[in-house]
Amino acid sequence: MYTHEDLARLQAQSLKMQSWIRQQTFSPENQKTLRRFSSWEVAELIFQINQSTFRGRLAAEPDLPGGEVEPDGRQRWFSLDEINELRRKMKINRKTLMPPRPAGKRAFRAAVANFKGGAGKSTVALHFAHAAALDGYRVLLVDFDPQATLSHSMGLNDVAEDYTVWGIMARDLIRETDRMNAATTGAASGTALPRRTIPASIRDLGLGELRHGDFIKPTAWSTIDIVPSCANAAFVEFASAQYRHLNPEWSFFAAVSRYLDGLGDDDYDLVIFDCPPAIGYQSMNAVFAADMLYIPSGPGYWEYDSTTSFIGQLSEALADLSGFGPTFPAGKVSLPKAFADVRFLMTRYEPGNDLHRAMFEAFRKVFGPHVAEHPIEMTRAVEQSGRFLSSVYEIDYREMTRETWRRARASFDRAYEEFRASVLAAWDKI
């Protein structure tokens, strides 16, 4: 027989192994660092210009960042900050290298969501964030999944649950309850409205006093920040049920949306959510805050079945929210929830597999133009990136054959370009 004490002992053993794994995955200091990018990558893959043109500009304009030169002088390597400085200062054929962004708009929010575990949600969110950063965008990641795969992949391991989505929701409960009670006190009609009380056990946690930026953590990527998650954040589902009982008028599903509304419109360009494989309090906050749903699915029948169930249950859950009470605050969010776009992306696709091709065609017949034209192909480099909690953009192409690396990167590049096109088309609708 096994009790909680046995489980605690097994966890302690696992924590010892985590230290070794982090050293193998990141660096001896257990801190993830971002590699430099070669002048070949910067020119042809990031700026999409000829290498000779790039080298000529560097030679002609000594005020441009020159990167680090290899001892043999054959190759230059640039940091992400140097790449962004080059992007700001250089123009090619009088055209800017800065990425397109609608003027006067807040950051666009995309939720990567589905029921099925292993569909590639975290992988897609990670790669889209890295591709967007290399494209010149400023990205905020929000990890809603207590498995915290995305947080770990971005180098965050020791995260306290107070600074996760759970903390944002608890902070919102306190602030929204105080707002409602203040409105009750100032009611012009003089009618006594109910006052809601938050027990000291919750108020004394101090979450109501947390500042906006306390939840946002920097990463090894200078233009990517993250609201991380951790295993202890799993109890948000239990805590949220208790919170709703304390204040039934609290619009729990809008907590993260209200939090993001408190950011400056120009703080970030993209906000990408990694959702848990379930419909619950965290995932409902993600989809309610999102402008666009991006739904990854593997190429198997059961994954197609799970995707069908997911959109059905999500539809029912959002329909239930549409009848929420009159205390819902006016402002930037409204009911019923509407998305600027919904897209389906096939992952782990093998173009030579007859079943995969048949399932891809089935998706296109059912979901039509909502299906991304470029599925993410399964390659050895993709498998390796998953094992080492890195994206193909973080892997140095010298660690494998360049062709293997380029094939994996090309698959994600095509998927990202389609994602960006969808974002830009939907951005004007928000």
Q: Which residue has the higher pLDDT, 80 or 304?
A: 80
Give bridge partners of residue 297 from the DSSP assignment: 346
Query: Does residue 401 register a pLDDT over 90?
Result: no
- The pTM (predicted TM-score) of the whole model is 0.89
Residue 93: per-residue pLDDT: 86
Question: Six-digit token pair at 372?
Answer: 């991304």
Residue 327: per-residue pLDDT: 47
Query: Does residue 148 register a pLDDT over 50?
Result: yes
What is the rounded CA–CA span in Å between residue 166 and residue 282? 8
Residue 157 identity (one-letter amino acid): N
Angle between helices 301-321 and 281-289 (to 10 degrees): 80
- Average of per-residue pLDDT across 399-403: 84
Q: Which residue has the higher pLDDT, 379 or 248?
A: 248
259: Cβ–Cβ under 8 A, 6 or more apart, which residues? Answer: 168, 171, 172, 212, 215
**What Cα–Cα distance (Å) separates residue 358 from each residue in 254, 349, 353, 362?**
39, 11, 9, 6
DSSP 208: G
Identity of the highest mean pLDDT range in 47-56, 77-86, 117-126: 77-86
- Which parts of 100-208 are beta strand (E)? 108-112, 139-143
Q: Cβ distance 395 to 405 under 8 Å? A: yes
Residue 191: per-residue pLDDT: 59
Residue 102 identity (one-letter amino acid): P
Query: Does residue 231 register a pLDDT over 60?
Result: yes
Q: Which residue has the higher pLDDT, 207 or 417?
A: 417
Q: 173-199 burial string, b = 16+ CB within 10 Å, else e?
A: bbebbeebbeeeeeeeeeeeeeebebe
Candidate from 20-34, 117-131, 349-363 with smallest mean pLDDT: 20-34
Q: What is the pLDDT of residues 247-284, one digit of tens each?
A: 888 999 999 999 999 999 999 999 999 999 888 889 99
Q: Which residue has the higher pLDDT, 370 or 201?
A: 370
- Average of per-residue pLDDT across 307-318: 89
> pLDDT-derived band of residue 417, with 50, 70 and 90 as boundaries?
very high
How buried is residue 104: exposed, middle or buried, by Cβ count under 10 Å (0-12/13-18/19+)?
Answer: exposed
Q: Which of 254, 174, 167, 269 is nearest to 213 (CA)?
A: 167
Q: Name all contacts of 326-335 with Cβ < 8 Å and 24+ positions apart.
A: 327/180, 327/249, 327/251, 328/251, 328/254, 329/179, 329/251, 331/261, 332/257, 332/261, 333/254, 333/257, 333/258, 333/261, 333/288
Average pLDDT taken over every residue of the chain: 86
Instruction: Note the helical H segments in 278-369.
Output: 281-289, 301-321, 354-367
What is the rounded CA–CA span in Å between residue 383 and residue 361? 25
- Average of per-residue pLDDT across 300-307: 87
Q: Cβ distance 376 to 412 under 8 Å? A: yes
